């Protein structure tokens, strides 16, 4: 599936909910299903700055695809990371660099996109894209 298709899938899932509670409950569920980062990667270098909760992201190339694993000490943050990883993981770095993040808005999480928001969603996206840029040069 392309990033676009995965985004659409997430949008479709979230469109089933009528209120914020259902959306957040679903995010909490997603958080619990996050592909967990190996404990050895839970180090300060993998910590994303700008979050009130701790978020670790690790990236690894599998062939020409970039695979992300992550964890957070807060469950809602974990849910947000899980959505991002579901969309961006297992994709070619070039695709990750190019991808827009409009879908965040469409699933009703726009409030988390503000750069001043303490959860650091913006920092997370930036970090995923930076990994993609780094691995893209490696592939070239």
Partner 1 sequence: MSQQTQAKTFEVEKIREDFPILNRKVNGYPLVYFDNAATAQTPKQVMDAIVDYYSNYNANIHRGVHSLSQEATDKYEQARIKIQKHFNAEKAHEIIFTSGTTHGINLVANGFSSLLSEGDEILVSAMEHHSNIVPWQMLCEKTGAKLKVIPMDENGELIYSEFEKLIGPATTLVFLNHVSNALGTVNPIKRIIDKAHSAGAAVLIDGAQAAPHIKADVQELDVDFYVVSAHKMCGPTGVGVLYGKEEWLEKLPPYQGGGEMIATVSFEKTTYAGLPHKFEAGTPNICGGIAFGAALDYMNNIGFKEIAAYEHELLDYATTKLKEIEGMKIYGEAAEKTAVISFNIEGLHPYDLGTLLDKMGIAVRTGHHCAQPVMDFFKIPGTVRASFSFYNTFHEIDLFIEGVKKAKMMLQ
Q: Least CB distance from residue 73 to partner 1, whole Å?
A: 6
Least distance CB 76 / partner 1 (angstroms):
5
3-class SS string, 31-95: HHCCCECCHHHCCHHHECCCCCCCEEEEEEEECCEEEEEEEECCHHHHHHHHHHHHHHCCECHHH
Per CB under 8 A, 24 contacts partner 1 = yes
Q: Which stretch binds partner 1 (CB under 8 A): 6-14, 68-76, 82-90, 128-136?
A: 68-76
Q: Would you give the distance in Å from CA 43 to the centre of its chain?
A: 18
**Count of residues of this chain found to bind partner 1 when the rule CB under 8 A is applied:** 15
Residue 116: count other Cβ atoms within 10 Å of its Cβ. Answer: 6
Of 20 and 35, nearer to partner 1 (C-beta) is: 20
Active-site residue flag, 51: yes
**Active site residue ranges:** 51
């Amino acid at each position: 599936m392309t990033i676009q298709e995965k985004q659409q899938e997430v949008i479709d899932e979230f469109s089933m909910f009528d209120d914020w509670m259902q959306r957040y409950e679903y995010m909490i569920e997603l958080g619990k299903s996050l592909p967990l980062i190996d404990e050895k990667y839970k180090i300060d270098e993998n910590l994303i700055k700008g979050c009130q909760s701790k978020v670790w992201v690790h990236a690894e190339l599998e062939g020409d695809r970039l695979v992300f694993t992550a964890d957070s000490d807060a469950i809602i943050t974990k849910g947000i990371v899980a959505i991002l990883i579901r969309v961006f993981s297992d994709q070619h770095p070039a695709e990750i660099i190019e991808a827009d993040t409009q879908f965040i808005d469409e699933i009703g999480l726009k409030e988390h996109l503000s750069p001043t928001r303490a959860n650091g969603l913006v920092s997370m996206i930036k970090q995923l894209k930076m990994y993609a840029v780094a691995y893209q040069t490696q592939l070239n």
